[in-house]
Amino acid sequence: MIKRILTVVVLVIAISIGNFQLKAQDWEGGLFAGVTNYQGDLVVPSFTLKELNYGAGLVIRHNMTRKMALRGNLLFGRIDGRDDNWSEPEFRQRRNFSFDSPITELSLTFEYSPFNENEWFDTNGKFIKKISPYGFAGLGVSFWDPATDFNVADNGEPPFGATLAEVEADRDGDFSTTALVIPIGAGVKADLTEKIIGGLEFGMRLPFTDYLDGVSIAANPDRNDWYWFAGATITFRIQEDEKKEDPLPMISDSDEDGVPDNIDECPNTPGKELFDGCPDRDNDMIADKDDKCPDIAGTINGCPDSDGDGLADIEDSCPDEPGLMIDKGCPKVDGDSDNDGVVDSQDECPNAAGPVNLKGCPDTDRDGIADRFDACPNSAGKSIFGGCPDTDNDGIPDSKDSCPAVAGSASNNGCPGITVADRQILDLAVKNVRFETGKDVLKIESYIVLDQVIDLMRKYGEYSLRISGYTDNVGDSRSNQILSEQRAESCYNYLVGKGISASRLTFRGYGEANPVADNGTREGRRANRRVEFDLY
């Protein structure tokens, strides 16, 4: 029976440990030091401190929350008692029984701290120190080996108050020295530092036996013996040292234009990403390094052509009158019905004035494309788009541009692309969004990273965000699939709670799929436990 009880206690401790994954602040291990005191047949039936002995042991505590904990105890001590300590000459001193025994206890107790905080850290991430009273109760097994003196005279005369038959029954009886015990008591503990906890406690031990002192039948078999432990505990939080990730290498940007020096063609002059980091001062969509007139917008190698005759003003002798290139841009008078500088014999539109480079045909919007070939004759455009405009000069006609007033890229349907620096924020978010182990609860440090993602969503108002959750391959694949979906949803809920429209967000879990590292290593598994963010 006792072996079965012992097996149950050990299994309960093992299952309790196995059901929780090790993480910071969950586990403590340490020492107990104090005293034991016996209460039973060889002391008066009242609480006394006359039988104090040493007590010590090992403790391990699992903090399920700030208020609730499971604790395993392995305690050692001594208990003793003797009749001649008591001033009852008619009974105690005349009987004069005594005993001495070591005692060992293996137990599992539940602690409850009603006034403790629910969290380990405050909103600023600072550890909360606390003095916490608590109560405890549990189940355990005690082991002892009493050496009892029944004060039997040399001539065989029985001791006072007992018969020889009772003494022999206690000496030779089949009494077990192992018993189920119920620990119950109270204490107070305090966080001395983030890792060290001190405490004081008192606990009664109620064993299911009247044989702690080796005396039962010869004394009072109807009242069980008991004992208590009291003393101090000192425990240390067991924290897993997580390997710090190497920081990303710094990418220099000398001119602070958002284009890294390694791809910036003008690294010392602030420019635009569209022109590989080079400036365009006159905003004519020709980078200054290729613009012959960098301070005046124009269409001919970046220079203006006021009369639209195909000659830049700086090369046109008659910049305000269209003419032929052979005449340095000046018009011919003879044989030119529409006075457009193109002789009628060479003018494809002799009755409608037009520039020389368009063979005398009109160009109403002066975009360099004759009206007869211009799909948008009243709106200046580019030949590549059939004469239709590209308002934001991003190389995508307004008719196909989702963001016609803001320069963008074809891959984004004309909307602005995400900068290299902003993509680095998304990459950092993948590595730094963390959750409580085995849970979908975001750690506090993840809020800072998610707030940066929120800033990007507000910066790129035309974009949507795809949130994808992944796990490593440890454990059941179905559970991992569910956990990945829950973690992706936790990030989704945080962004919606901060004001990001749910219509711009989607989330999905992929479980163990698409590992980015080797699941056979600790570092690889850590990298595979991630949430990815994709702006599109």
Tell me the CATH number at 443.
Answer: 3.30.1330.60
Is the residue at 328 inside a domain?
Answer: no
pLDDT averaged over every residue in the chain? 84
Is the residue at 438 inside a domain?
Answer: yes
Q: Is the pTM of this model over 0.85?
A: no
Widest CA span in the chain: 162
pLDDT band, very low/low/confident/very high, at 26 (cuts 50, 70, 90): confident
Query: Is the predicted pLDDT of residue 342 greater than 90, yes or no?
Result: no
Query: Is the predicted pLDDT of residue 392 greater than 50, yes or no?
Result: yes
The whole-angstrom separation of Cα 361 and Cα 118 is 82
pLDDT of residue 91: 67
pLDDT of residue 216: 83
pLDDT of residue 385: 81
For the segment 140-152, the average pLDDT, to the nearest whole number, is 90
Query: Is the predicted pLDDT of residue 80 greater than 80, yes or no?
Result: yes
CA 418 to chain centroid: 25
Q: What is the DSSP letter of 29?
A: E
Dihedral sign, Cα of residue 250, residue 253, residue 259, residue 261: negative
For the segment 184-196, the average pLDDT, to the nearest whole number, is 90
3-state secondary structure 227-247: EEEEEEEEEEEECCCCCCCCC
pLDDT of residue 46: 64
Q: Which of 175, 205, 238 is the last residue of a domain?
A: 238
Burial (CB count within 10 angstroms: exposed 0-12, middle 13-18, buried 19+), residue 26: buried
Is the residue at 175 inside a domain?
Answer: yes
Q: Which of 208, 238, 268 is the last residue of a domain?
A: 238
Is the residue at 164 inside a domain?
Answer: yes
Per the DSSP assignment, residues forming a β-bridge with 69 are 63, 111
pLDDT band, very low/low/confident/very high, at 197 (cuts 50, 70, 90): very high
pLDDT of residue 102: 96
Alpha carbon separation from 500 to 12, 444, 465, 487 (Å, rounded): 47, 20, 10, 18
Long-range contacts of 449-453 (CB under 8 A, 24+ apart): 450/491, 450/494, 450/495, 450/498, 451/498, 452/425, 452/428, 453/425, 453/426, 453/429, 453/495, 453/533
Is the residue at 415 inside a domain?
Answer: no
For the segment 397-419, the average pLDDT, to the nearest whole number, is 77
Amino acid at 46: S
- Among 65-74, 167-176, 496-505, the least confident range: 167-176
pLDDT of residue 204: 94
pLDDT of residue 17: 45
Is the residue at 374 inside a domain?
Answer: no
- Tens of pLDDT along 219-264? 777 778 899 999 999 999 886 544 445 555 667 888 888 888 888 8
pLDDT band, very low/low/confident/very high, at 7 (cuts 50, 70, 90): low
pLDDT of residue 121: 54
Tally of domains in the chain: 2
Alpha carbon separation from 249 to 424, 452, 516 (Å, rounded): 11, 19, 20
For the chain, give the percent of residues with pLDDT over 70. 88
The whole-angstrom separation of Cα 486 and Cα 508 is 9
Query: Is the predicted pLDDT of residue 126 greater than 70, yes or no?
Result: no
Is the residue at 312 inside a domain?
Answer: no
Query: Is the predicted pLDDT of residue 14 greater than 70, yes or no?
Result: no
**Angle (CA) 127 195 77, round 5°:** 135
- The CATH number of residue 145's host domain is 2.40.160.20
The whole-angstrom separation of Cα 454 and Cα 260 is 24
pLDDT band, very low/low/confident/very high, at 19 (cuts 50, 70, 90): very low
Residue among 29, 28, 30, 26 nearest 64 (CA): 26
The whole-angstrom separation of Cα 190 and Cα 193 is 9
For the segment 161-188, the average pLDDT, to the nearest whole number, is 86
Report the interhelical angle of 446-459 vs 477-497 (nearest 10°). Answer: 60
The boundaries of the domain holding residue 500 are 420-535
More confident call, 106 vs 11? 106
3-state secondary structure 149-168: ECCCCCCCCCCCCCCHHHHH
Instruction: Give SS3 for 354.
Output: coil
For the segment 335-357, the average pLDDT, to the nearest whole number, is 82
Residue among 380, 371, 415, 379 nearest 396 (CA): 415
- Tens of pLDDT along 281-322? 988 888 888 889 999 998 888 899 988 888 888 888 888 888
Is the residue at 123 inside a domain?
Answer: yes
Pull the structure tokens for residue 261. 């020096």
The whole-angstrom separation of Cα 413 and Cα 427 is 23
Q: Which of 238, 260, 294 is the last residue of a domain?
A: 238
